[in-house]
Amino acid sequence: MKRLLSFPNPVNDAAARTVAIGVVAMALLALAGDVRWMMVPLTYGFIARVLTGPTMSPLGQFATRVAAPRLRAWRREVAGPPKRFAQGIGAVLTIVTSALWLSVGWSVARWLLVPLIAAAALEGFFGYCVGCAIFGQLMRFGVVPPSICEECGDLRKRYAAAGFRVSDET
């Protein structure tokens, strides 16, 4: 059970970006195509990815098993905790959107998909993770303790591994 309820660390960035592109497609279909039921797999997917990484997410499985192995240009390892945090933000947005849809109506709820689409598009197409940036700021402010993601607090190791010259003063 512990293995089931875990999140990978590190995360293959190609898989994360593939998931984000899938989220963009589903959320755009829900918003622009008025396909309200798309909120069900969208919400489930975020909850599943927060709890189990790609294990219980059909989109996560496609991303890790099919797409990521073929996307060599995007292949790099990134820290898992910020990605999980980003998935958590998506889960909150989709849960709130679904709750509003069921209680108030679709005309109000659907507009919460706009920030979700924007953030997922940045991740999927440009490799910029908004949730990861927020996670980093929360670490800087001391809200997230360094023990959650030691790599996130000190990027010198990653820079050194990428071939950049790093001194102890930086």
> What tens-digit pLDDT sequence spans the chain (170 residues)?
556 678 888 899 999 999 999 999 999 999 999 999 999 999 999 999 999 999 999 999 999 999 998 988 888 999 999 999 999 999 999 999 999 999 999 999 999 999 999 999 999 999 999 999 999 999 999 999 988 887 776 555 555 555 556 555 44
Give SS3 for 13.
Answer: helix
Query: What pLDDT was estimated at residue 52?
Result: 93
157 in a structural domain: no
43 in a structural domain: yes
Structural domain count of the chain? 1
161 in a structural domain: no
CB 60 within 8 A of CB 54: yes
Query: What pLDDT was estimated at residue 166?
Result: 53
Residue pointed to by tokens 């909150």? 92
151 in a structural domain: no
Q: Per the structure block, which two tokens stand in for 133?
A: 């940036």
138 in a structural domain: yes
Measured distance CA(28)–CA(57) in Å, rounded:
19
For 127, the domain range is: 11-144
Q: Per the structure block, which two tokens stand in for 50?
A: 């927060």
First to last CA, the chain: 41
81 in a structural domain: yes
130 in a structural domain: yes
Measured distance CA(66)–CA(105) in Å, rounded:
36
Query: What pLDDT was estimated at residue 1?
Result: 52
153 in a structural domain: no
Give start and end residues of each alpha helix (H) in 110-170.
Answer: 113-126, 130-140, 150-153, 156-161
Query: What pLDDT was estimated at residue 122?
Result: 97
Per the DSSP assignment, residues forming a β-bridge with 77 are: 12
